[in-house]
Chains A and B, each alone.
Chain A
């Protein structure tokens, strides 16, 4: 059973508009949620995270929202730029181990 799901394999938006990437989870024990970005032929790089005690975290153009009751989080990118085109992974972790469980990723394409 997949504990972290990204139901949209791909998303295409116009430059300057908002990109919204969604992620759902099933394990209520998760206490940290992270977003990673991955370009081809590179490893994932950390983008932004949120603790389960918060419902919003913002860093520049990137904002993550957490809705614990719905077990849902989303990443908002405003404004979207062509350089944001990449695969975005949602990840969740809990407990001492802190090992992350990843979603399957959403490929974002930002068109000029």
Chain B
């Protein structure tokens, strides 16, 4: 089984719909992250969390919200999806500052 699991892997949704992307990890790490990747670009940080009670905005948090339900679970929500949120979304975990991050396989989201 993968250390970091994202569901769904692919999703097509309509403009204005609410959608949730889920992430779970078995690494036992406290830190979890949500990134977005657009074609030809690097990964941009949406939100990050140090533990269940510590959630922080990243560089592109507008239009997104997150929930850290448990140490192992970190979900990303789009309250009202719009077409420019069409992208590849990655969840990641790490155990400390500067340490390597472990990524999920990604969720390809298309908003039509």
Contact = CB atoms under 8 A, between A and B. Distances in A.
Contacts of B105: 41-43
Interface residues of B, number: 27
A25 interface: no
Interface in B87-109: 90, 92, 94, 96-106
Contact of A99 (B41, B58, B102, B103): B58
Given A43-B106, A45-B103, A98 B94 contact: yes
Given A43-B106, A44-B90, A99-B33, A93 B98 contact: yes
Q: Which of A89, A96, A99, A103 has the most CB of B within 10 A?
A: A99
Interface of A: 4, 6, 9, 31-32, 34, 36, 41-46, 49, 51, 89, 93, 95-105
A98 B56 contact: no
Contacts of A100: 43, 45, 101
A92 to B, nearest CB: 10
Interface of B: 4, 31, 33, 35, 40-45, 48, 56, 58, 90, 92, 94, 96-106
B98 A9 contact: no
A101 B45 CA distance: 8
A51 B70 CA distance: 31
A98 B31 contact: yes
A85 B50 CA distance: 34
A53 to B, nearest CB: 11
B100 A46 contact: yes
Nearest to B4: A43
Contact of B48 (A9, A46, A99): A99
8 contacts: A43-B103, A49-B98, A93-B97, A93-B98, A98-B31, A98-B99, A102-B42, A104-B41
Given A9-B40, A41-B105, A99 B45 contact: yes
A100 B59 CA distance: 11
